[in-house]
Amino acid sequence: MNSQKPDIRFLFKPRGHAVIGASAAPSKIGNSIIRNMIHSGYEGKIFPINPKGGKVFDIPMLTSVDEISEECDLATIVVPAPYVFDAVKDCAKKNIKFLSIITSGFSEVGENKLEREIVTYANNHGMRILGPNIFGIYSAQARMNATFGPPNVTPGNVAIITQSGALGIAMIGKTQVENIGLSSIISIGNKSDIDEADLIEYLVEDEQTKVIFMYMEGVKDGVRLIEVLKKATRIKPVVVIKSGRSKRGAMAAASHTGSLAGADGVFAAIMNQCGVHRAIDIQEALDWCKFLSQNSHPVGENAIIITNGGGVGVLAADACEANNIHLFDDLKTLESAFKESVPSFGSVKNPIDITGGASMIDYEKCIVDAFNHKDIHSIICLGCETSVLTGETFKKTILDIHRTHGAKKPVVYSFVGGKDIEEGIKFLKSEGVPIYSDIGQAVSCLGKIYTDYRNRKSPMDGSSTPSDIANWVDIGKVKEIVKTAKADHRTFLLAHEAQAIMKAANVSIPKSVLATNLKDAISAANDMGYPVVLKIVSKDIIHKSDAGGLALDLQNEKEVIDAYEAVLHNSRRYKPDAHIKGVEVAEMLKPGVETIIGGRYDASFGPVIMFGQGGIYVEVMKDIAFRSITYDKHTIAGMLKDCRSYPLLLGVRGEAKKDIDGVIEVIIKVGLILSGCKDITDIEINPLLAYDEEDGVKAVDVRILLTK
């Protein structure tokens, strides 16, 4: 037994590579893999294995793994599922480090047990498994195309990790059409062992890889993935497509891969938090990958648009706003920069509009001026077909400009016109010019490079608990309360228990007393001061207002007496067998901004926190934002700002600013409670009332769910 993990570099650069199930029959996958490995010029030694012996592409086949007499780090397994485990055992005897199991018929069809057994055996013998249910791996540095996809893969600097086999194979062809070279393409299929996080960790260090592109269907170990992605995006761009955005798509993805897709809203928010670029479709993803792999970061935020048409200039300006690109607006600098090139009838206000009547010479000069100006950091160069800007003239001009100046700063080009322009775009693309027919797509590429540029400058949010806040919550007390509820076989806390948790976290809650008789209720109300609220307390009645177990805004003792009887009567009628613990007397709160704060264990990503517009319309408004658990105030503030209702906290129509720091503090405490007490699965405070800064916040209704 040797359970030490092998160095993943051997997966990408194996000294020898066995193919178990190699075949002389051209129709077999075991034949295509050998063909592709030879065709790509694999630098190591190939060991085809087939019990019948013979030759494949003139290479003699070994009849068993036992016969391998030289270093062999990787084995591709292409024998039917019932023979895979034996092949894995043979590999262990030869100290093979990595197994790429192409074979289908494991967890994706319910054979989880066999898959687990194989992985456990492999790991216990110092081996790691890629797959099963994959099309293989291509690694440019080893000149190794060990896939059964197309033989020709263009080497380059984009790495692709794909959970879908068929789509991955299709992407080999698609990247060729798009002139994108690959540093590697790795099919992960059922990801029984090696997953995205393992591969990203390697690819981030791999010098040849400039951009990592992932196609995902489901997330298994989201907590580790977050940790790895946060670090990776500081070093190189990561682009992701995840299927299952819709409910229908998520179901298809789940059954396809045997893994559950996380809720899309949480996935989107977490990718954003990690600095990952999420694309909607393959074209968008590949455009980003290509642009990001070929351009370095800008040195500043000042972008300009140069156009010969006002309309496209405005479209681009809109797209800049949507993509968070700052349009340089220092008029004095712009006037002096373009005084020679922009005609008097044009405009030097960004977008710089040379107008349709300007000559190609002016146009060229204007772009070159932009490239040479130190205060301009990036350029969006647009054009509409005119009598002077034709398919022929623009093609030559743009190619010359880009070749001479394109490396100076990030630039994207977009041109609109007929057949000649479209052909010109195709030609320029093939020459490596970042040019797009769609203005939005051009601008989004520049937007992504700016996102990376800013991400790398901002501090990384850590998920570990900073020592200065660790004692914000009395976790011992929290656990004690939860223990009592669990002893009572409950999977939720009663209102007063949830309030006690808030007290343990020093979160302000409305004054409240549990009364078990009318006399106590009256004296509690008198002590508290009017107005007050009465609420039924019963583990059998969750929705108090539905049961008539709630009475609001009681102004005096008489109203308390009437309401006390009514609340008990209604609740008994609503659920005659309900066990009623008493009636809660609470202060009636003055209005504030209603927010909702939550924390829960997500099946894919572990602990996540939530903020949004609270109150009874949460479901309808759906104005909520998520983050993976974090104690970083800046990141949490970003979550607040993601909500449409955020301006309410800043104060509208002359209102004072609300206690935003107080809201952030409660979110941090919810995170601390969730991570400190593993028996709690969900916390929801709705509403958390946010008052003016000096009045703080108040957690009105708190629901806490426990593990089963």
Per CB under 6 A, the list member of 104, 441, 508, 645 interacting with ligand ACO is 104
Q: Choose between 44 and 48: whose C-beta lies nearer to ligand ACO.
A: 48
Binding of ligand ACO by 106 (CB under 6 A): no
Per CB under 6 A, the list member of 20, 304, 342, 498 interacting with ligand ACO is 20
H and E: helices and strands count for the chain: 24, 29
Piece in contact with ligand ACO (CB under 6 A), picked from 100-108, 113-121, 612-620, 673-681: 100-108
Q: Are 145 and 160 in contact (CB under 8 A)?
A: no
Binding of ligand ACO by 256 (CB under 6 A): no
Per CB under 6 A, the list member of 134, 439, 494, 580 interacting with ligand ACO is 134
Q: Are 160 and 238 in contact (CB under 8 A)?
A: no
Least Cβ distance, residue 59 to ligand ACO (angstroms)? 14
Where in 38-97 is the site for ligand ACO (CB under 6 A)? Answer: 49-52, 78-80, 83, 87
Q: Are 302 and 296 in contact (CB under 8 A)?
A: no
Binding of ligand ACO by 25 (CB under 6 A): yes
Binding of ligand ACO by 487 (CB under 6 A): no
Strand-pairing partners, residue 533, are 586
Binding of ligand ACO by 190 (CB under 6 A): no
Least Cβ distance, residue 241 to ligand ACO (angstroms)? 17
442 phi and psi angles, rounded to 5 deg: -60, -50
Annotate each residue in 445-474 with x if it binds ligand ACO (CB under 6 A) or - if it does not, as one string. ------------------------------
- Rg of the chain over Cα atoms, rounded to whole angstroms, equals 32
Per CB under 6 A, the list member of 129, 142, 169, 271 interacting with ligand ACO is 169
Per CB under 6 A, the list member of 109, 166, 235, 322 interacting with ligand ACO is 166
Per CB under 6 A, the list member of 133, 183, 571, 628 interacting with ligand ACO is 133
Q: Are 626 and 649 in contact (CB under 8 A)?
A: no
In 482-623, at which residue ranges do the beta strands (DSSP E only) sit? 512-515, 532-538, 550-554, 580-587, 593-602, 606-613
Per CB under 6 A, the list member of 165, 424, 671, 696 interacting with ligand ACO is 165
Structure tokens at 164: 């879908």
Least Cβ distance, residue 108 to ligand ACO (angstroms)? 9
DSSP state of 281: S
C-beta nearest to ligand ACO: residue: 165
Piece in contact with ligand ACO (CB under 6 A), picked from 133-141, 193-201, 439-447, 620-628: 133-141
Least Cβ distance, residue 81 to ligand ACO (angstroms)? 6
| Interface size with ligand ACO, residues (CB under 6 A) | 27
Q: Choose between 135 and 472: whose C-beta lies nearer to ligand ACO.
A: 135
Q: Choose between 47 and 328: whose C-beta lies nearer to ligand ACO.
A: 47
Binding of ligand ACO by 28 (CB under 6 A): yes
Q: Are 445 and 451 in contact (CB under 8 A)?
A: no
The secondary structure element, H or E, covering residue 685 is strand 680-690
Structure tokens at 708: 């089963």
Annotate each residue in 170-189 with x if it binds ligand ACO (CB under 6 A) or - if it does not, as one string. --------------------
Which burial class, exposed, middle or buried, applies to 64 when counting CB atoms under 10 A from its CB (0-12, 13-18, 19+)?
Answer: middle
- Can you tell me the distance from the alpha carbon of 691 to that of 664, in angstroms, rounded to the nearest whole number? 13
- Can you tell me the distance from the alpha carbon of 377 to that of 372, in angstroms, rounded to the nearest whole number? 10
380 phi and psi angles, rounded to 5 deg: -115, 110
Q: Are 314 and 351 in contact (CB under 8 A)?
A: yes
- Can you tell me the distance from the alpha carbon of 373 to that of 377, in angstroms, rounded to the nearest whole number? 8
Q: Choose between 52 and 332: whose C-beta lies nearer to ligand ACO.
A: 52
- Can you tell me the distance from the alpha carbon of 60 to that of 303, in angstroms, rounded to the nearest whole number? 61
For ligand ACO, the binding residues (CB under 6 A) are 20-21, 23-25, 28-30, 49-52, 78-80, 83, 87, 102-105, 133-135, 165-166, 169
